[in-house]
Chain A
Amino acid sequence: MLEIKNLHAKVTEQDKEILKGISLNVKPGEVHAIMGPNGSGKSTLANVLAGRQDYEVTQGEVIYQGHDLFPLAPEERAQQGIFLAFQYPVEIPGVNNVYLLKAAVNAGRKARGEKELDAMDFLTFIKEKLALVKMDNSFLSRAVNEGFSGGEKKRNEVLQMAALEPKLAILDETDSGLDIDALKIVADGVNKLRNPNRAFIIITHYQRLLDYIVPDYVHVLSGGRIVRSGDSKLALELEETGYINDSNSASANA
């Protein structure tokens, strides 16, 4: 589904490379956890995959569903099934949550040549998804993320993910800052969305999340490279020993 080959990237208009040759293969149904210290390039990887303009790819390629990913605009990537759950979800005053959700869902449907959902059908559709993240209807009429608590923002990301039904979901530190109850709700939502056709890349700083979402693979990112890969046991090991092999301590934009 996703093949990352020797990916190098830097912040636009800056010289320093943050990703220094990442290679990773993700197949449908798999859950890959990417761990690593602050500044190792985890969030850069997520943002490059989603198409954020602040980063520039300097080398390497990414093949998504058999095609080069990079010519696609961010919205085209989203329409083709890539979803990024933001580390810092953006507050958008004046835009209703339900407006965003419906515009997003219908943009995807339109791109796939499916019929757009009308207001009534959409409401039925979204109410099922709300239950998944234990949110009530009042979330729909609030402005996007405005005045949301940290936990609410992350649940809102999972709600959007549930609504958009992506093929590849990238969770960028979705667990950071969550208390254990909020973490369980988020993890529970993600687990319910796991299926044989959907892949996840879960970026996290903390092993704790992986107690609830058990990954197929764990990779350790350090200094812009994957320095270790293993199965879910690797996460437990890291919990005890810390991030070893952190040979390159140069800080990068996490």
Chain B
Amino acid sequence: MSIVTVESYINEHKDIKNKLAGSQHNWLQAARDNALQSFAKLGYPDKKVENWKYTRVTPIAKQHLPILLTHSEHYEKNKVVSLVKAMPDCHCMVFINGYFSTELSLLSGLPDNVIVCDFLTATEQHSELLKKHLQQDAATSDSFLAFNTAFMHCGAFIHVPANTQIEKPIQLLFICTPEANTHTINLRNVLIAETQSKVNFIENYLAITDDSYFVNTVSNLILEQNAHLTHIKLQNESRQAFHIGTVNAQQAADSHFHSHSFARGGALVRSDTNTSLNAAGAHCTMNGLFIAQGKQHIDHHTCIEHKHSHCSSREYYRGILAEQAHGVFNGRVVVAKDAQKTDAVQENKNLLLSDSAEIDTKPQLEIYADDVKCAHGATVGQLDKRALFYLQARGINIEQATKILTYAFAKEIIERIDFAPVREQCENLLLDTYKIDTTQEETHES
């Protein structure tokens, strides 16, 4: 069945390739063609592909989900406006089913030298910069990455020049509406932080529909020397949706990359965060939290490649699986032969709230250097029975005690996020998920 689907996308590519953004650029079309060939060759990953061992993509592969080629007009604007308002204190690019809406975006007050536009505009006005920084992934072994490159059309292009600091975070708000139903929303974001610049991005995936659609999103992050870039990904797609996303960062010397990934939505989710520490003094942190219920399947893969000496990385991922949910965590840390004095820590903790919930966790440490400090660990467990009894012995009933401890487990990750509005959104989602009485949260010492 999936072979038929691959062919249908090859045909679709023939039909629409000259309508895709920047089709006038030969280099871009060549990149798309090469990627399409890779996709045709690779097909959809099955369980024989190590990276996809625990995640079956049959629900995506069994049907042709066409690329949405037109702007959506019919949706409830007031709902979108309230979603924009829900994240105060930031610049905001709004994308409806992938398409940038100038009207709904909030981009005033940005420094003049910063480029903030959609992928189409970038192909028209900044094609040299785009060509320089777009990762073309010709030799990729990842089907969905190849697919994404073949159909690049929508997304954001943001270029922060050297020595520029952007105070407020820039939110990329991707909203799916009922028009996305049974379509593919293919997004490619290119986010560049030049030397000595500082910028915070929030990629926020939301839906104002309960339908099934497929978001395939790839973000290329470029951190030049001493750049500081924070990337927060919030994934709260429709519970029927498929979401496959990759964040690929490239880090130059002394750059700092802080990644946070918060996954709550989607029926079938795969989210990858990769970074390559290419020169001395680069540092990355990767924090993640995934919360799955019902029959949700949420898979996170991370890869941190220490390619040079004196780099450090910190990774903290947690999963909470309830009911029949299935979680996957695969965290790879690779320390190259010349990457002496590497300092890497990786931790993955998972909470199983029911007997039918499942987690496959695989921390992988590959060290080819001999003078390094690396630690990793993964745990899978239930709530601490002693802590539950302690709360009960203070008069708190078992249901409430369970919720409090689950919330606390998640909160330790959320507290790592510096930006208060994101933290509050995540906390509210948690409180909503675990139905905790928030009035008890407001007590602060005066």
Question: How many residue pairs between the two chains, A and B, have CB atoms under 8 Å in the bound complex?
Answer: 99
Decide if A164 touches B395 in the complex (CB within 8 Å): yes
Q: Are B398 and A102 in contact (CB under 8 A)?
A: no
Which one of B26-34, B202-210, B284-292, B438-446 is at the A interface?
B438-446
Interface residues of B in 398-413 (CB under 8 A from A): 398, 400-401, 404-405, 407-409, 411-412
> Cβ of A43 < 8 Å from any Cβ of B?
no
Q: Once the chains bind, are A99 and B405 in contact (CB under 8 Å)?
A: no
Within 53-67 of A, Cβ neighbours of B (below 8 Å) are at 53
Q: In this assembly, does A131 line the interface, its C-beta being within 8 Å of a C-beta of chain B?
A: no
Which of B124-132, B263-271, B383-391 is found at the contact surface with chain A?
A: B383-391
Closest to A138 in B: B445
A103 interfacial contact with B, CB 8 Å:
yes
Residues of B close to A137: CB separation below 8 A: 445
Instruction: Decide if the interface of chain B is mainly helix, strand, loop or mixed.
Output: helix
Q: Determine if B442 and A119 form an interchain contact, defined as CB atoms under 8 angstroms apart.
A: yes
B81 interface residue (CB < 8 Å to A): no
Q: B389: which A residues are within 8 A, CB to CB?
A: 52-53, 74, 90
Q: Given A94-B409, A103-B400, A107-B397, A86–B390 Cβ distance below 8 Å?
A: yes
Q: In the complex the two chains form, is A111's CB within 8 Å of B395's CB?
A: yes
Q: In the assembly, what is the distance between CA of A111 and CA of B397, in Å?
A: 11
- Of A107, A118, A141, the most chain B CB neighbours within 10 A belong to A107
* Chain A residues, CB < 8 A from B395: 75, 78-79, 104, 107-108, 111, 164
Shortest C-beta distance, A244 to chain B (Å), equals 34
Q: Is the CB of A92 within 8 A of B394?
A: no
Indicate the size class of the contact surface on chain B.
20 to 34
Closest A residue, CB atoms, query B385: A53
The answer to whether A73 and B407 touch across the interface, beta carbons within 8 angstroms, is: no
Give per-residue flags for A116-135: 1 if the beta carbon is below 8 A from chain B beta carbons, else 0.
00110011000000000000
Q: Report whether A98 and B445 are in contact in the complex, using a CB–CB cutoff of 8 Å.
A: yes
**Are B440's CB and A84's CB within 8 A?**
no
Is residue A89 within 8 Å, beta carbon to beta carbon, of the partner chain?
yes
A95 and chain B: residue at smallest CB distance: B408
Verify if B393 is at the interface (C-beta below 8 Å from A).
Answer: yes
Q: Are A141 and B390 in contact (CB under 8 A)?
A: no
Partner of B394, one of A52, A140, A141, A160: A160
Known: A50-B393, A90-B387, A94-B411. A103 touches B404 (CB 8 A): yes
Which of A79, A95, A164 contacts B405, CB < 8 Å?
A95
Which residues of the partner chain B approach A86 to less than 8 Å between Cβ atoms? 390, 393
Contact (Cβ within 8 A) A75 B397: yes
Evaluate whether A92 and B445 lie within 8 angstroms (CB atoms) in the complex, with A99-B440, A111-B395 already known. no
Q: List chain A positions with a Cβ less than 8 A from chain B.
A: 50-53, 73-75, 77-79, 83-84, 86, 89-90, 92-96, 98-100, 102-104, 106-108, 111, 118-119, 122-123, 137-138, 140-141, 160, 164
Since A51-B392, A74-B389 are in contact, a sample of 18 more A-B pairs with Cβ atoms closer than 8 Å, ordered by chain A residue number, is A77-B393, A78-B392, A83-B393, A89-B390, A90-B386, A90-B387, A92-B391, A92-B408, A96-B443, A99-B443, A102-B443, A103-B391, A104-B394, A104-B395, A104-B396, A123-B446, A141-B445, A164-B394
Can you report 7 residue pairs joining A to B where beta carbons are below 8 Å apart? A73-B392, A92-B391, A94-B412, A96-B443, A98-B443, A103-B396, A107-B395
